[in-house]
Copies of this chain bind each other. A is one copy, B any other.
Amino acid sequence: MRKISDSTIRRLSLYLRFLEQATTQGRTTISSGELAKLGGTTSAQVRKDLSFFGSFGKRGLGYTVPELASRIRDILGLQRGYRVVLVGAGRMGGALVQYQGFKQRGFHIAAIYDQDARKIGSRWNGLVVRDVRHLETDLKKERSDIAIVATPADSAQQVVDRLVRCGVKAILNFAPVPLAVPPDVRVKHVNMALELETLSYALANR
């Protein structure tokens, strides 16, 4: 398969949300124009995004809602569930554990780790915060494909090295540092300030 850009993948995620809304509204078809409008893009872009993955929809009739939703779930790897471990029981970790959107998409936070004795043993959203020393033994018992790192900047790389050694292949990083990982591990950085910077850019360049 050819290399698909991150922005195409992000738009597919958005289209899936609109398709799910359409489903709850009992709708059976949707046009590329409508998906485009909801996603703030053009019909041509919608058709192009989908064309990477085969042929969908009928000219003049649009897309069949449940069929397209199911195809996008396939493409995004969302037909299965994911066991996710979270390292870092700080403020951000706390918000993430409660975040409803993860479970809805099949991402189950299965364990939380911290190194702070005051946090270890406390209960968060039904999970008990575990000592990060148990990371290796826990992951040996139950593998996780995805980890969320929400530690302070100075411990993130060390935590990531340990996760990678335990076979974690995808990391969502909230720590404000670049991370080094082997080529077969994928890292996504979430940087709140960076999002605000695209806004300040827009404000400065009106």
> Which residues of A come within 8 Å of B, CB atoms?
1, 6-7, 9-10, 12-14, 17-18, 38, 75-78, 82, 84, 91-92, 94-96, 98-99, 101-102, 104-105, 107, 145-146, 169-172, 176, 178, 184, 186, 188, 190-206
Contact = CB atoms under 8 A, between A and B. Distances in A.
Contact of A186 (B1, B146, B176, B199): B199
Given A76-B201, A105-B193, A105-B197, 16 more contacts: A9-B197, A10-B198, A13-B191, A75-B201, A77-B200, A78-B197, A82-B200, A82-B203, A96-B192, A101-B191, A102-B192, A105-B196, A172-B199, A188-B195, A190-B190, A190-B192
A200 B170 contact: yes
Copies in the complex: 2
Contact of A77 (B18, B96, B186, B201): B201
Of listed A171, A195, A196, A204, residue having the most chain B CB within 10 A:
A196
Given A101-B193, A193-B107, A199-B146, A77 B188 contact: no
B200 A172 contact: no
Contacts of A206: 169, 184
A114 to B, nearest CB: 15
Contacts of A186: 199, 202-203
Contacts of A99: 91-92, 192-193
Nearest to A202: B186
A98 B77 CA distance: 34
Contacts of A91: 94-95, 98-99
B96 A204 contact: no
Contact of A194 (B1, B13, B98, B201): B13
Nearest to A92: B95
Nearest to A77: B204
Nearest to A125: B91
